[in-house]
Every structure is written in C-alpha cells, then in structure tokens.
Chain A
Amino acid sequence: MTVTNAIDMIKVAELFTSAAHTSSVDSATEIASAEAIVTEELGHGMDRSRDNISYNDELNVYDRVASGSTSFNAVNAHMRSMQEMVIRMANPSELLVIGIPYIPLKLGIGNVTLSNNVHLDYMERHMDISGLSYDTISLADIENAVFPKVFDMASIHVPQVNHNFDIVYNIYDQLPVGGVIALTSSNDHGRVFEYSDAHDYADLFVTMQDTAGANLYHMSAGLGVSVITKSS
C-alpha cells in the first residue's frame, strides 16, 4: 500500500492492529443493520436530504456505515481500536456507555450499563443481542447526578452529549480515583481543529483541563478519541 494521506495512514495502522479488535462484528452484518435503520427512518418520513441534515455527526452515523465507504470504515475501525484499547487498559468493573453501544457491549468487559436513547432501541431491534446482558440508565438521571452504582469507567460518544456537558462532568465527579472516561468521536469530524476554542466542544475540553485531578488527552487521528483519567 502506498501511503498518500491520513486515511491511508489509518488503514496501515489498522493493518497492524489485532484482528479481533472490532469485537467480531462482521462488517456485512453491520452494514445490513445500518441499512435497516436508515430505511426505517425514511419510512417514518424523516427528511434525510443533505440540505437538512448536512454532515452532522449524530444524524449521519448509520448512513455512513450503510454506505460501505472504505475510508469511513477505516476511520471508524480506528476509533474502535482506540476505544477498545482504553477499555481493556482500564478493565472496568462497571462500564457506562453512552454511544453506539454494540461494540463496547460485545467486548464483554465488566458489567455494562447503556444510556436509554434511540441507539439502544436500534441495537435491540436491528442487531443480534443474543447472550448479551446490560442495565440501562436515563440521561435525565445522569444530568441529575443520580447514579444507581459507581461507574469506574465510561465510554461517551461526544455527539450524544454535546447538548449538555454536565453529563460528562457528573460522570467524572462520581468516578473513583483511577477512573477513566473515553470520549469517542471527539473532534467533530475535524471541525474542532478548524474552529479551535470557538467550537462548542472546547467548553468540555477547557472545563476538564481546569478540573483538579483530571488528566485530559486528545488522540486526533480519524474521528478522534479523548481520554480523561482521575488522579485525585
């Protein structure tokens, strides 16, 4: 492979990554699930025209998977690699997931609690969840800092919480020392780099930078993964 751009670099990086890193989810199965979800949305009358949803991260995720785009699959797989790496390193007992829940759930690490949103609904109706067990929690409870247990790790898809970053702050506050938060898709498809502190994600990053005991790291490749650790 001739490396000519960032996507090619990511493809090479994935080439030298463990083959099991996508939690044994077959891409053809993923594409079929994503196609079913997009078809269902269209069936409900959702206007998925580019003029209306443009390239918004949250509104295009299943569309992108369904497209079978080699480039998108490369950056998506790379984000999963980083997410999986962080989860395995943290080895949590109680893992809270706000995001596209299937992949971290399939890892089978710790007791998993999933946020009660449309992605949970899609997973339960369009993906094979046989043998998988999990609890659920509402975002309202997280916003109110009402947690049924102590989570020592959370994997949070930033596009699903950017309407209220208190969700992240409350999760951080309840972490034990040594706890970890992985923030996936944390560069808004590169727009964070274009807009820097004028981007709305900057509020999250600056707040965590200013939080005593918090260590914040941003891995910029592809969709981006940021990691917060709690040291005190």
Chain B
Amino acid sequence: MAYDIDADYHYICSSLAVLIASVGGDETAAGSIDYDDLKTMINVTHTIPGGDVTPDAWTAPQRTTYRHA
C-alpha cells in the first residue's frame, strides 16, 4: 500500500481537534486551521500535567524545544 494523503490529513486534523478542545476551543474548526493558529496553539498549549514547564517569557520555538537562546 502507498501513502494515503487523505487519511493522513484526516488524522492530523483529528489530533488538532483534540488539542483545540483541550484548551477550551472549538474542535470543529480544526479543518480550517492556518499557520498562525498553529503557532499560537504551540505557544499556549505546550504544557505537561502539573502545568507549563517553561517561563512565560519564552517564545514558541523555545517552548517547543525547552531550550532558551
């Protein structure tokens, strides 16, 4: 079998919907999410049980990699 782009896209959107819903958003919007939305989501949702592990002042890439410049 070969790569199925429709199935992959459906999975990605489903995963995004779970993420959106986890922060109180409208999970039905997952199919129309854009790049800026993604950056915002990464910035505000990258937490672990017990809370955010990075300082509030960190940028999105710093949060996603746990590495301050």
Q: For the complex, give the distance between the alpha carbons of A135 and B4 in Å.
A: 12
Across-interface contacts of A52 in B (CB, < 8 A): 39, 60-61
Contact, CB under 8 Å: A56 / B53: no
Across-interface contacts of B64 in A (CB, < 8 A): 54, 56
Interface residues of A in 52-90 (CB under 8 A from B): 52-56
Interface residues of A in 188-203 (CB under 8 A from B): 188, 191, 194-195, 198-200, 203
Q: For the complex, give the distance between the alpha carbons of A188 and B60 in Å.
A: 17
Contact partner of A120 (CB less than 8 A), chosen from B3, B48, B59, B67, is B3
Residue B65 lies at the interface, judged by CB distance under 8 Å to chain A: yes
Contact, CB under 8 Å: B11 / A139: yes
Contact, CB under 8 Å: B53 / A140: no
Contact, CB under 8 Å: B61 / A191: no
Across-interface contacts of A195 in B (CB, < 8 A): 53, 66
Chain B contact surface mostly: helix
Contact, CB under 8 Å: A54 / B4: no
A116-B7, A116-B8 in contact; A54/B15 too (CB < 8 A)?
no
The minimal Cβ–Cβ distance linking B67 to chain A, given in whole angstroms, is 6
Interface residues of A, CB < 8 Å — how many? 30
Contact, CB under 8 Å: B61 / A54: yes
Residue A136 lies at the interface, judged by CB distance under 8 Å to chain B: yes
Across-interface contacts of A203 in B (CB, < 8 A): 48-49
Residue B57 lies at the interface, judged by CB distance under 8 Å to chain A: no
The minimal Cβ–Cβ distance linking A221 to chain B, given in whole angstroms, is 20
Q: For the complex, give the distance between the alpha carbons of A203 and B53 in Å.
A: 14
Q: For the complex, give the distance between the alpha carbons of A191 and B48 in Å.
A: 15
A140-B14, A203-B48, A203-B49 in contact; A54/B8 too (CB < 8 A)?
no
Instruction: Map CB proximity to B onto A29-69 as digits: 1 under 8 Å, 0 otherwise.
Output: 00000000000000000010011111110000000000000
The minimal Cβ–Cβ distance linking A36 to chain B, given in whole angstroms, is 16
A135-B1, A136-B1 in contact; A56/B48 too (CB < 8 A)?
no
Which A residues form the contact surface with B (CB < 8 A)?
47, 50-56, 116-118, 120-121, 124, 134-136, 138-140, 163-164, 188, 191, 194-195, 198-200, 203
Q: Jot down 9 A-B pairs with beta carbons below 8 A, ordered by A.
A: A53-B61, A56-B64, A117-B8, A121-B5, A134-B1, A136-B1, A163-B15, A194-B66, A203-B49
Beyond the given pairs A116-B7, A138-B8, 7 more chain A to chain B contacts, judged by CB atoms under 8 angstroms and listed by A's residue number, are A56-B65, A116-B4, A117-B8, A121-B3, A121-B5, A134-B1, A194-B66
